[in-house]
């Protein structure tokens, strides 16, 4: 199988709970995680810090409207 990300329709979201002292730290951490995972075009969709850490959802857009979509390439063959 070629690059798995090619099969993502548009975006890959990661949702988790980050142990952090405040929202900033949580956001920095999840951004780092996303970058380390090889994702680009990253945004933090949601972050709420309460108590021990933050519930976060970060998104890495794989394809945006107008791009050449990987999942369409297969249909092209």
Partner 1 sequence: MSIIKKVVLAPMDPVHDIGLKMIRRGLEEAGHITWLYPPDYSPQEIIRGIMEHQADTVLISRTLGYGVEEVLARFVDLLDAAGLRERVKIAVGGMAIRPELAAELGFDGGFGPGTTVEETVAFVEGREYIPARCMNKHNRYNLIGDYRYEFKNRPIKGLLDQITAQILDWSKERTSPGVQRALLRRQILTDESQGESTACHKKEYASLCDDIVSKYYTSGCLHPQTRKLGIEELAAISRYVEQTRSRMNPENIRHTRQKPGVFVQYGTGCPSMDIAHIKASEAWGADGVVHFDPSWGARSEGFLEGYLTHHEDGSVITPENLKCIKESLQESTLWQVRAHRGVNTAETVLLAGNAGADLTKINIAYGCLGAGTDPERMIVDGVQAIKFAAQYGMPFDVVTNEELSGVPAYKAFAGMLIVSNLSLALGAMPILQPLFCYSPEVMINGNMSDNYIDFNVAKILALRNIINAPIWAGAPIGFLTQTEERVQSSVSTGLHAALAASLGVEAISIASSDEAYSGGPIAAASRIDTLKAVKEAFRFLGTATIEPTASARQWAEHLEAGIEQVLRQVLEVGDFAQALQQGVLGSREEGAYPGRAGAGTVYRV
Out of 11, 17, 27, 50, the residue judged to bind partner 1 by CB under 8 A: 11
Q: Smaller CB distance to partner 1: residue 29 or 69?
A: 69
**What is the DSSP secondary-structure string of 26-69?**
HHHHHHHHHHHTT--SEEEEEEEEETTEEEEEEEEES--TTS--
| Contact status: 37 vs partner 1 (CB under 8 A) | no
| Contact status: 31 vs partner 1 (CB under 8 A) | no
- For the chain, state the CA radius of gyration: 15
Structure tokens at 10: 């548009």
Binding residues for partner 1, rule: CB under 8 A, are: 9-11, 13, 15, 43, 45-46, 48, 55, 57, 59, 61, 63-66, 68-69, 71-73, 75-76
């Amino acid at each position: 199988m070629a690059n798995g990300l090619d099969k993502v329709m548009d975006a890959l979201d990661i949702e988790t709970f980050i142990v952090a002292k405040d929202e900033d730290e949580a956001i920095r951490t999840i951004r780092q995680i996303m970058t380390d995972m090889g994702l680009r075009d990253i945004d933090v969709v949601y972050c709420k810090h309460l108590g021990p850490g933050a519930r976060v959802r970060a998104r890495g857009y794989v394809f945006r409207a107008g791009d050449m979509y990987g999942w369409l390439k297969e249909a092209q063959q």
